[in-house]
Structure 1
Amino acid sequence: MLTGINLFGLIIGTVSCLIILIYVLNQTGYDQHFDHAENIYRIETVNGRGDKPSFNTATTSPPIAPALKSDFPEVSEMTRIVLTDLFNVNLIRASLEVDGYYEPRAYLADSTVFKIFQFHFIEGSPIGALNSPNQTVLSATLAKKLFGNKSVVGKTVIWGSGAEAQTLTITGVFDDESTKSHLNPNYFVSMTTPGMGEFVSTFQNFATNNFVYSYIKLIPDADAQNLQEKLPSFIQKHGKKQLENAGMVDKKLFLKKITDIHLYSEGRDNQIGTVSNIKYLYFLLALAFFIQLVACINFINLSTARANQRAKEIGVRKVVGAGKGSLIRQFLSESLLLSLIAMLISIPIAILLLPLVNELTLGSLSYLNIFNWKVLVLLLSISTLTGLLAGIYPAIILSSIKPIQVLKSAVQIQSGNGMFRKALVVFQFVISISLIVSVIIITQQFKYTQSKDLGFNKENMVALRAGTSDVTSKYDAIKSNFLNIPGVVSVASGRYAPFETVLNDNGMYLPGKNPQDLTIVRRNGVSKDYFNTMNIDLLQGRDFNATDDNQIIVNKATLKSFNIPEDKALSTILLQTHDEVVYEYPIVGVVDDYHFTTLKDEIVPLFLHLDNEPNWVFVKFKTDDYKQLVSNLESTWKKNIDTAPFTYVFVDKEVENLYAQEQRLSKICTVFTFLAILISCLGLFGLVSYYAEQKKKEIGIRKVLGASVQTVVKLLTKDFVVLVIIAFVIATPLAYLAMHNWLENFTYRIDISVWVFILAGIGALLIALITVSFQAIKAAIANPINSLRTE
């Protein structure tokens, strides 16, 4: 039975290690396949504004990359990429006669993009693929979606709609499934294409419009650190006056190696895509390590617990000439064999669990990830190390038995006063209690993000993708028709949805103040009835009307940033200077602060203005028949709009997705906490088995002298209660520090309560008592004759 428990514990630990290992390895290796990836860098920006918060972004101003190539001979190539998702919703279709798709990750790119990023072309050639205006290179996934399995080079697609629609010629198709890149492109469009591309090509201000992703490639053996040290003088040389005009006290440029972008981008806003976090991976690796370590501790406890059962075997082997070294080798071989068996069993179990793992992590792992040679080598190394670590201590103890004592039935295997085994159990429960605390706090924070008043009502709201000129021109008709649908309460529109980060901003100042002392205010364009639809409180002033031009409605954070009293807000005008032209923005309303970004970020200044070119249409409803509501919305949409597909999301679900990482972390911690507790219980079972074996004669004598079952159970359990209490005392400060640091990532967060630790301690104690009591009662009700008879 003990061998089975040992094997079970090792299988749990090995499966946990394997799953975490393949996930972590899947998150590494990004961008390493590009030629000379170690010499490719992204230029990132930190804009300093005196005592105002710095603006840390992964982007730069348009002219910076070309100027770097011109000024520094160590820069062999440069390219720029613009994520057009920020400016439009990228409607694309094969022709005017077919339905289109809203396709994200559309990049305007310089013609040099494929000189730096060597994507594998399935059709066409990267040479000259984006040299001319209105050229595009599609991903294989998008090409198949638009044209099926046909060859597409030379064909055209319609990008955008209405007067802004452009015809793009397809010059190539690249493989988007076999490479891992932080870019994760869907399609590229040549930078010289009319519109935003022309603006980027001609814009020469080194201070403002930091929305371009700029990359440079250094010559072999170039010193990146040396180039980094030259960047302060470079930006001053080209943009000193422009920086002063923009109110930027200090603009700094930083080189980020592209192979570091996916894992080491913490603190940089405006990432081009979803990035991971090396701290998150370290956390998972630590979980795997502790789970496997707890399994090793179990092996040690269970092996020493059964030492007396093997004592005679060891004594006989020593009498016939077996040395200590050969015995150690035997026991280590047994341990290694058990660990390798656990490894072999863990592989098919991990394969079976992959669908659950993918659901938990939103990943796309397959059995091929497991049979990667790196994974197999690491798994074999972990299993071998586990077998050695788990077996070395029992091997030394067992091989040290003196045969004369064994054969005279006088041996009782012990190691000192058992402090080592007790320390191992304490360590197990330090891990378990810490994980219980972590699960409770992470779950509390996630629930807090779901229940906190965000300043708007996200419930019962559908957001429909707009962004085409057809929707813009027919918006009033769409709104009127939607309001006639049963269950629809109100309709509004906006540039940004509540689950999107507002990226547009203006540098603004008050009349009579220094135009260079700017405050950055985020900007969102909305329609009339937006505040009513979102249930955002209007504290002062009025909603927009059709005659408004530059009139704005601001949040309280804006008033605070400019030191404007709330009762003076409606008589205040904010100013912006652009190309030496001063624009006036009269404040006509004040709304309460609401969270237009995640709770990780502080609410910053925001102004809203009337916008007739929305990216989203918001429909507030009051009905439980969601299916019928969506059906009615779709049929109404298709009656009015024939150039844009009907695409919708529920706002509350999208807001929840902003905290998907925290939700996944909560689930992962819960799973591994359960596994750690399960393995710890096996360890307790092993240790109480050992104790019962050691004290069986004492228990027998006590029972003969009249001791009750309760007395014997108390004898065997009291020490373990002390061990759990010691573990609780050690785990509490460790868990507090870890969770306090984690909560620092959130501007709006819960307070850590004492009851969390008390609950975790009581839970661990109850689990320990249940586990120990099972074996203690079994020993207490055993017939004392069996332990006292002469052997």
Structure 2
Amino acid sequence: MLKNYIKIAWRNLLKNKQQTIINLLGLTLGTVSCLIILLYVFAQLGYDKHHNEAESIYRVETIIERNGQDGFDSATSSPPIAFALKEDFAEVEEATRVVLTDVFYSTLIRAANSTNAYYEPRVYMADSTFFKVFEFKFLEGDVKTALDEPNAVVLSSYLSDKLFGSKSPLGEAIIWGSGDDALTLTVKGVYDETAYKSHLNPNYIVSMGTPGMGTFVQNFPSFATNNFVYSYVKLTANSSGLGLQNKMPQFMEDRGAQDLKDAGMSNKRLELKKVTDIHLYSASRKNQLDRVSSSSYLYFLLSLAFFIQLVACINFINLSTARASKRAREIGVRKVVGAGKNALMRQFLGESLLLSIFAMLISIPIVFLLLPLVNDLTQESLSYVNLYQWQIVVILISIGVVTGLASGIYPAIVLSSIKPVKALKSSAILQSGSGTFRKVLVVFQFVVSISLVSTVIIIGQQFKYAQTKDLGYQKDNLLALRIGTEDASSKFESLKTSFLNVPGVLSVSSGNYAPSEIVLADNGFYLPGGNKESKTVVKRNGVSDGYFNTMGIELLKGRDFNVADTVDQIIVNEATLKVFNIDIEKALSVTLVQSYGDEIDELKIIGVVKDYHFASLKEEIQPLFLHKETEPNWLFIKVNTENYGQLLQSIEQQWKSTINNIPFDYRFVDKEIDKLYEEEKRLGLISVGFTILAIFISCLGLFGLISFVAEQKKKEIGVRKVLGASVQSVVKLLTKNFIKLVLIAFVVASPIAYYFISRWLEGFTYRIEIKWWVFLISGAFALMITILTVGLQSLKSAVVNPVKSLRSE
């Protein structure tokens, strides 16, 4: 019986080639989309799942309240907190800390027996307990003792190969830093950085016992300030993260009340974030250790996959029910000879399942071929191995079965319900009920298409807005050159003089932070005579004189720095004046006070600059003060040239003639700023790609429907033409109903799209306004696609010689 069902299904698929090709192509494209999105989603869901007892590991995060409002919201915390939690609570089995050192200063690294030094990013300092909490795949060395000693370092396999080639690095010395601050580290291990997916992404790890930043962290006592440490705790097997979370307020009261008072903080809350949730559920938290994604981003992609597959299923339903009359006699005969309704339903469901399984099988090699493109777009490393995950295999089979059933169930019910007497009398089409349902499904397809087009337009506008918005400084033609060492900093004036002699260089300045870098440094201030326990946090950046001219930042009041200025003289932005309620006309007579314990410092405002975006547009401009810096981390060069290759070569020559054995490390500021919006750019590109797919699948369905309608009305069209009907009137006859459906879909889709796009834009502090014409363009686009698809096929039918359609009458 099963063999007979399959044989009949196969014959029917071959008999209706056009319908089969349209359905198969639509279902295949839908399945390919689903499979690609599922591969990416599973990759994102896999972060930090590999750690031993991962569900028991938490990161300690910080929210600092000042003046009743959240003034600091960070993934970091103060140095002593992690191990104090272990001391105070039996449920904390282990604790560890991480410091991302290259946020504070750039560090050179080289093999001790080599002169080739490199700036390598993502430098961690970590406690000896780091590998007791987190799982890393060691290629060499003892994971249990790798960070036990001071001056120990563990390298990624990438860095090991770069520094030592194929030679084993164990026991080898590397030089970390330069000049008097250089340290000699001993390699204690090598790990495979590609083995797992984690929010922890170090290039190399230095033991926390190493002098300098490490000893500072180990000895720093305050529970209130210096919230730059990434703190982690691992709980015992039967402990609850929520239970520990509820004890945090009392913990801060017992341990940090005096520290908070000395620092002028009204309140500091600690929150626990499960390590497996960090990658997808902490995008709103500032100062992340590495790039994180967003769960809403994945939900959007999954929704895209669902709707694309649904559109393909709708095509199948529409075409199958529309062609019911073609099988009416077959159904009538089979019922007369004894076929029951259930048997017929099984037959029609079998046809749709067979087609769905074909689509599933075809989609697998297509996905193989598309993986390089997908990896390039998503910055992932997906491979054919990912397709063999049992979850993917189960879901793929489920997609095939569910799609087949979903596509076939309604046509099976409709077709199996045809009365044999009516079917054998004539091949009349099913009555209006099925026609109404088909119209509803077509409207739904257009709703999806119009919504997706609107979304793509808005995403593109927001991305363009981020690229073109006035940031308050001139990012174009601006080079950022990493200074990075004390020796290079001490030669800043010599570098500045030599660079100014290079043709095309307009001005040179320096600062501690490059645009797009996270500004972690800050100070707590209050006005003279104010309450020091109600300080306001102000971000801090050290710069040299000429900084504002080089960056193109407008000075609204006062003056720039000069050679005689000290760190007690500061320039503030407008946001600082606003938060302290200072009139700009009186700003130059104001001093800001900072204190810690009994120490009090007064900083005099000598200038006010216009607000500029020193962080992402996702964040509101924060209060900022700038002070004179004599040992900057970055050198900024404003240029004007038609030949960047020659300019960079000349600048590099001047660099090498002034500084030896330090890499020439530069970047274009505008390119670095664009990187802040990589996720939005990827979202836009993915949205465009899948929107085109959804529209294409919809067009396939329209093409199939209008082909059938034209065939059904072939004789009517012939009669009309014989009686004098024009080609235009025939085309209008066939297209007007579809145009009405587009207009209905436009009315339905516009408010739905507006709601969801508005929600997405809420993630940006600075964002575009949604214009009404966006939806009008989307509707017009859908209308144009419909007219092209339906109109061309209608025109083809309208120009047919009526003799051909009427000769059998």
TM-score (norm 1): 0.97
* 1:499-520 deviation line (CA, Å, top 9, x unaligned): 2121211001111111111111
**1:568 Cα deviation (Å)?**
1.4
The answer on 1:149 being equivalent to 2:166 is yes
The answer on 1:137 being equivalent to 2:151 is no
The answer on 1:503 being equivalent to 2:520 is yes
The answer on 1:744 being equivalent to 2:762 is yes
The answer on 1:557 being equivalent to 2:578 is no
**Distance in 2, Cα, partners of 1:53 & 1:681:** 51
The answer on 1:370 being equivalent to 2:375 is no
Q: How does 1:316-327 map to 2 (within 5 A)?
A: 316-327=333-344
**1:691 Cα deviation (Å)?**
2.9
Partner of 1:521: 538
Q: How does 1:166-177 map to 2 (within 5 A)?
A: 166-177=183-194
**Distance in 2, Cα, partners of 1:82 & 1:557:** 29
Partner of 2:726: 708
**1:789 Cα deviation (Å)?**
6.0
> Could you tell me which of 675, 696, 721 is aligned with 2:693?
675
Partner of 1:767: 785
* 1:356-395 deviation line (CA, Å, top 9, x unaligned): 2222222222222233332222112112211111111122
Q: How does 1:534-573 map to 2 (within 5 A)?
A: 534-550=551-567, 551-573=569-591
The answer on 1:754 being equivalent to 2:788 is no
The answer on 1:237 being equivalent to 2:267 is no
**Distance in 2, Cα, partners of 1:348 & 1:612:** 60
The answer on 1:724 being equivalent to 2:742 is yes
**Do the aligned partners of 1:324 and 1:400 also contact (CA within 8 Å) in 2?**
yes
Quick check: 260-269 or 305-314, which moved more?
305-314
Partner of 2:3: none
Q: How does 1:651-666 map to 2 (within 5 A)?
A: 651-666=669-684
> Could you tell me which of 447, 462, 465 is aligned with 2:482?
465
Q: What code does the residue aligned with 1:762 have?
A: A
**Distance in 2, Cα, partners of 1:588 & 1:719:** 71
Partner of 1:626: 644
**Do the aligned partners of 1:470 and 1:643 also contact (CA within 8 Å) in 2?**
no
> Could you tell me which of 345, 350, 354 is aligned with 1:328?
345
**Distance in 1, Cα, partners of 2:715 & 2:790:** 19
Partner of 2:796: 778
**Distance in 2, Cα, partners of 1:788 & 1:395:** 33
> Could you tell me which of 200, 212, 217 is aligned with 1:195?
212
> Could you tell me which of 441, 447, 468 is aligned with 1:430?
447
Q: What code does the residue aligned with 1:659 have?
A: Y
CA distance change for structure 1 residues 219 and 417 in 2, over 3 Å: closer, same or farther?
closer
**1:65 Cα deviation (Å)?**
1.1
The answer on 1:643 being equivalent to 2:650 is no
Quick check: 360-369 or 248-257, which moved more?
360-369
The answer on 1:490 being equivalent to 2:507 is yes
Which SS does the other structure have where 1:27 is aligned? helix
Which SS does the other structure have where 2:281 is aligned? coil
**Do the aligned partners of 2:280 and 2:293 also contact (CA within 8 Å) in 1?**
yes
**Do the aligned partners of 2:575 and 2:622 also contact (CA within 8 Å) in 1?**
yes
**Do the aligned partners of 1:304 and 1:690 also contact (CA within 8 Å) in 2?**
no
Partner of 1:447: 464
**Distance in 2, Cα, partners of 1:8 & 1:320:** 35
Which SS does the other structure have where 1:173 is aligned? strand
Identity of aligned residues (%): 61
**1:486 Cα deviation (Å)?**
1.2
**Distance in 1, Cα, partners of 2:759 & 2:490:** 50
Which SS does the other structure have where 2:87 is aligned? helix
Which SS does the other structure have where 1:263 is aligned? helix
Quick check: 9-18 or 420-429, which moved more?
9-18
Partner of 1:185: 202
The answer on 1:72 being equivalent to 2:89 is yes
**1:752 Cα deviation (Å)?**
1.0
**Distance in 2, Cα, partners of 1:312 & 1:633:** 84
**Do the aligned partners of 1:493 and 1:530 also contact (CA within 8 Å) in 2?**
yes
**1:785 Cα deviation (Å)?**
5.1
**1:790 Cα deviation (Å)?**
5.9
TM-score (norm 2): 0.95
**Distance in 1, Cα, partners of 2:114 & 2:446:** 66
Partner of 2:15: none
**Do the aligned partners of 1:397 and 1:415 also contact (CA within 8 Å) in 2?**
no
The answer on 1:421 being equivalent to 2:438 is yes
**Distance in 1, Cα, partners of 2:384 & 2:482:** 37
**Do the aligned partners of 1:712 and 1:780 also contact (CA within 8 Å) in 2?**
yes
Partner of 2:182: 165
**1:244 Cα deviation (Å)?**
2.1
CA distance change for structure 1 residues 361 and 508 in 2, over 3 Å: closer, same or farther?
same
**Distance in 1, Cα, partners of 2:662 & 2:631:** 14
**1:417 Cα deviation (Å)?**
5.4
* 1:742-765 deviation line (CA, Å, top 9, x unaligned): 111111111111111111111111
**Distance in 2, Cα, partners of 1:687 & 1:723:** 13
**1:784 Cα deviation (Å)?**
4.3
Say how many residue pairs are matched.
Answer: 791
**Distance in 2, Cα, partners of 1:306 & 1:470:** 81
* 1:160-206 deviation line (CA, Å, top 9, x unaligned): 11111111111111111111111112111111111111111111111
The answer on 1:574 being equivalent to 2:614 is no
Which SS does the other structure have where 2:174 is aligned? strand
Which SS does the other structure have where 1:576 is aligned? strand
**1:135 Cα deviation (Å)?**
0.8
**Do the aligned partners of 2:26 and 2:312 also contact (CA within 8 Å) in 1?**
yes
**Do the aligned partners of 2:325 and 2:427 also contact (CA within 8 Å) in 1?**
no
Which SS does the other structure have where 1:453 is aligned? coil
Q: How does 1:345-384 map to 2 (within 5 A)?
A: 345-384=362-401
> Could you tell me which of 109, 116, 120 is aligned with 2:137?
120
Q: What code does the residue aligned with 2:275 have?
A: I
Which SS does the other structure have where 1:306 is aligned? helix
**1:697 Cα deviation (Å)?**
4.1
**Distance in 2, Cα, partners of 1:15 & 1:410:** 37
Q: Unaligned 5+ residue runs, structure 1?
A: none
Partner of 2:224: 207
Partner of 2:324: 307
Partner of 2:4: none
**Distance in 2, Cα, partners of 1:711 & 1:763:** 23
Which SS does the other structure have where 1:80 is aligned? strand
> Could you tell me which of 398, 410, 418 is aligned with 1:393?
410
CA distance change for structure 1 residues 515 and 5 in 2, over 3 Å: closer, same or farther?
same
**Distance in 2, Cα, partners of 1:308 & 1:782:** 23
Quick check: 13-22 or 306-315, which moved more?
306-315
**Do the aligned partners of 1:44 and 1:254 also contact (CA within 8 Å) in 2?**
yes
Partner of 1:106: 123
Q: What code does the residue aligned with 2:235 have?
A: L
Partner of 2:14: none
**1:245 Cα deviation (Å)?**
2.3
Partner of 1:607: 625
The answer on 1:50 being equivalent to 2:67 is yes
The answer on 1:85 being equivalent to 2:102 is yes
Which SS does the other structure have where 2:380 is aligned? coil
**1:529 Cα deviation (Å)?**
1.2
